[in-house]
Structure 1
Amino acid sequence: ELEAKFKTAEKKIDTKSSEIDPICATFIEWGKEFVNRQPKESTFGLAIQAAFSETKFPENPINSWFREIFQKVLLSKDSDPEKAIICLLAIQGLFFMDFLQMDALSKEQTLTVLDNLRKFLTDDNKAN
């Protein structure tokens, strides 16, 4: 599900005209995809994550997926790695707050945070 939503978000990004790293732009769009999904799906994803932490599998596919995304951003020449990681960590915080059904932010507030992350990265590129 994570990869499918990421691919959907990636298709919405025009990498040629994007002012920020394409991976970061996709991750922001991916965050918006999750804000708009059904809350019932959250408990299923959390159950999968918990199941992997309880077993002796050599590799957790969810952790591997996130590790791969973070490595792509760290190695990207299109962004400041520190600012890009701040962006991804912020989105992860929003993602897991939603997964744990904390209801700390409204949908509108979450979308505003995601839009501001894009501005944060765009402003950084304009300064360089």
Structure 2
Amino acid sequence: MKDPSISSSNMAVSTEVILNNQFNSEENPFAEYMWMENEEEFNRQVEEELWEEEFIEHCFQEMLEEEEQREWFIPSRDLPSQTVSQLQEQISLLVLDGDLHADADFDVVVNSSLNPNAKEFTPGIQKHVM
């Protein structure tokens, strides 16, 4: 793979040469053929770009093949039928209505002895001051 910084600087030089040659075409009768002076550099750049495009396409194809080969977890297929029914039963027992517990939560907040201005606890960082 090529270094993008090298490619962009070379491309800028080539573009600059081409633009300069276009403006100098009135002064120099051979100006339209001046690009041949840098033909090898231009060919190298084009070849690098083609290799990069081919590499990206190859990586993309590999990614698609990996995705097709991956077995996805499907509960109805991969779990025993008892487990699926148990999960459905547990899900049906969940209560999603927050209004039932709003009064209880408010009482807990009002009667709490926690300091709301305390620093946030970060696990793994121990700073004990005695």
Same fold (TM over 0.5): no
Instruction: Point out the structure with max Rg over C-alpha.
Output: 2
Structure having the higher helix fraction is 1
| TM score, norm. by length of structure 2 | 0.24
| TM score, norm. by length of structure 1 | 0.24
